[in-house]
Structure 1
């Protein structure tokens, strides 16, 4: 028995350093571990904005942040040369501020940009050479893209490059929307099958109240106005989350990660060698 216990202790001790080496989430690393990771080539850092906003009566408010934390780590691991900065829990979400649906937090555009700029500035000082901005929420995509262009020029002389990974959001939503339509499922833009399936996959009943799954207002096609003769549901959902499943969520998660990894690799590969 003693020999078995000793063998177990030794096995744990031998695997602990490997676990530390595999860690990519900077919040869970010490500064010597971050320095060691950078010395071995992890000079890319992901700055991922989540968000805190209502997602209907069935889904927790931190959905964007919870998705961002898991997706960012998986993206970094697949890239192989990246670490993850602490995920930002707020975004531009003014459209969801409503006392009927309490809890949402909005950062005005200039504030959102300033916060992300401060994080980028910090990462440049820390020594990262490739800095990737991305957001899980539709609000803030344009701001992040504009910021990346400006900061890329600002830090060019320091051999640091700043990118915007827009495919994480835009291409993923296009891909998922196409898949949903192809499979005859109801379209959604907020709190519907896409968001809800992701949260079911990542957190199950901790993130989704299944007994509260109800349809919301139908999405309005671009360029059109809502039907004024039709009563609004007005429950914070646009679409129908009821067909959502964790299996769909796994598929959508993989699409999101794959799109981000592909674009980040392409962006870095096209940059000057000194900035990689």
Structure 2
């Protein structure tokens, strides 16, 4: 299916894939990159302005939807894809299914392994919360895991932004994505097959995916650079956007331009 897409700027295309349970609006602090690049952001099925056509949104189908959407927008040249958390799961499917479309990658706050039994159970518990209490209630419950301790204490504007984006999503979209993430396959073997340059970034206060786990993943990638950012958690692009943007821009200039 075709997803909602927005684009601005000119130059090499940067395609931003959002985290759960948010929308493309989470990438607003990265729009400044449109001064030198083409900024492109999509909403996954049911999130933001995209429609939802299925009860379960698999990571593979999301990847296919991304390519369908880019093709429809006449964006068929290899692009640099940036994915955070759920967006990173979709990136790995893109790498497996459409390697010819990848000029470079940024894998942020994400992992290649499948859910553990415990993690899968938590996703289904969250489906119950979303369906009984709404997406806003689930977003509120998730805030301390989405944002680092420093942000929760001293960056109220970021907390407000994340809360507002999460509250705008629907229970149906949230539940479909949770099912897709719970059932996603292990993609560890795909890492060694990724031949393009990869920027791997982690927040040192991330309690969802530890920095040590992301560093191990970076070592499994043939052409990766790893960065750990202090005083941020899972949504590091929102928590310290200037630091994230500078690190990513330097990576782009060194490795892809």
TM-score band by shorter chain is 0.3 to 0.5
Question: Is the strand fraction higher in 1 or 2?
Answer: 2
TM-score by length of 1: 0.40
Bigger CA radius of gyration = 1
